[in-house]
Structure 1
């Protein structure tokens, strides 16, 4: 309904205008006002659609009210129709220049008065409809922009997913190719160690015999010189350490290759098995080692407990996401030295809890309740799809009946807690 204010110092004019409007069933909510001061208070205090404003009034005139409204527009600027009994065209022109929409001469003539009021009201309805349509269009445009952005992000994610699938398959293939030569290198290396172990006492015996039985001083000196020039004593003493270090290195390579094969393989969603969480954590640490080693040190504590019934590949994926996020948070803080990531596995009566904490940048409180939403990210465009934690939440909560919680303080760090139920069945039957 149109909200209308009649401003006139004549009560007769106020009542005539009001009664004429009501008698012609023009739907309005009408207020009356007798002076300019009160009119300004009402205009700035309420949202009027139409004001019938007398030009000449004691105190603040209608022209002065127009000037005031032009200088300091109210939140809702109304249509203004001037009421006048003067024929001064300059004054009328000034009113139009200051924003008046029309004028009506006094004394009022019924037909002219109602036709002009109806015309202005039609304009108001038309303007309101146009504004409403523009608002709807703006909302639709905004919605389309958001949908378009979501589609772009979804497309970006799908492209990244395709790349990850390709990389995963490539990694699995490379791991398989590396595994075969690695196997025979390790086998040959083991044989070489055995040969050395067998030959060492023989070489030592030969040296002893030469020392004791060589009668030809020239020949003895020649053999001794050769032995010393080749530094055989040092070689015999150093070879066990070389074998030990090489053995450790080969075993580590073998572990990394096996971890890559386990992580890169296509994992069936419904394949659940009993796993040792310590092994899952160790494999994950090997996978993300290159991402973290130049950023932070990792401290690990695992409480012994039962095997956990889960999809191993999916839980490794969750831990990879959480650990990589922790490393990125520490990197963003730009420490002069390495940051710190703590992994602690605690067994409770109902859950196996994997706590991953860091001393990175932390998460703003306003974002904490949104970090598990799909496509939500605080990272710059192109540096994050906003799906890592969303996927992790789905894996832990929906696929494993567990919980994924986070605590964080801006500038201090974050702690993610993956809680997997300690069960003997049912999870794999989902």
Structure 2
């Protein structure tokens, strides 16, 4: 591998070239800003999910320390870049990257930028021009509560801990406004509106709800977003007049990005191959349409073909006695099972859905319902989460779910007490 020295002027020149090439390819993006950062800066931004300003919480410090330790002992790498869905779009580049890696990464960033601006989940669910300001204002407010002697760090942390445990139990229909009655099912919103929490505590919950809403489109489009950015860095760099040494490194780096993961799913690889297949079969008008309208679940369900399933070597495994084995597919329609399993486990489909079902007037018990789809809840997480909900609600909490195909009521009647009851049909 040849590592070439470069200057800031070199990067500015290549950035202009890449931006021009991206526009000529039909990409439509926000104004783009790049910031060159060290590896320690990148670890910090990764811990705070890219935000230059974020409210303090121990989980972010834990993430930073874990990543730093793994990186120190060469047990993990760092992202070549991080991109924020904002207008202007802000991206961080690692200063230790080679020149080619910076070129590839900038082309990759313009793909993300275009996706942020044009995919309907981001257009309907986020306000890109307000992103950085929103996170800064939230951070400032949380710090004010921490510095308030009547509240303090422990008081804020207690609410944040509970809020983080249910932050994804919120409205999943991006862009769809709900009536007061419909929003009753939204657990996080329901606690904000109907609990006995103090005003500052509800404000903290609202911050978590608002920031979670910002990240949900990213959760819902991980495969599409990374596949789109990979597709366009590949197309863009193939159109540039790269020197032989840069071109060789480009092929190596691109293959590193989209290489399959043994026994797992590489979203860059899956997304790249589906967009490449769509381009070959239907042309670029189709891929721009798909980029605008779909989320991962619909993207895979509609466009992962039988041929791609075999080419990508996708398979399912299941538990058989004490071992995990590859499931045998009895006929050629078995690929549909694989496709459906992938759809059900991507995006918000990978997170259990818990909704408000009722309130018992006699003791204000909050009754929750697990939307059961054949997958049982992890008992340890379930019990810990119910205790967090009790902390926020202040009264008993009951959850109706299924365990071993039986209807079960799980009750948290005190801060540390969890009981189980089998529900019998009369």
TM-score norm. by structure 2 comes to 0.20
Task: Tell me which structure has the larger Cα radius of gyration.
Answer: 1
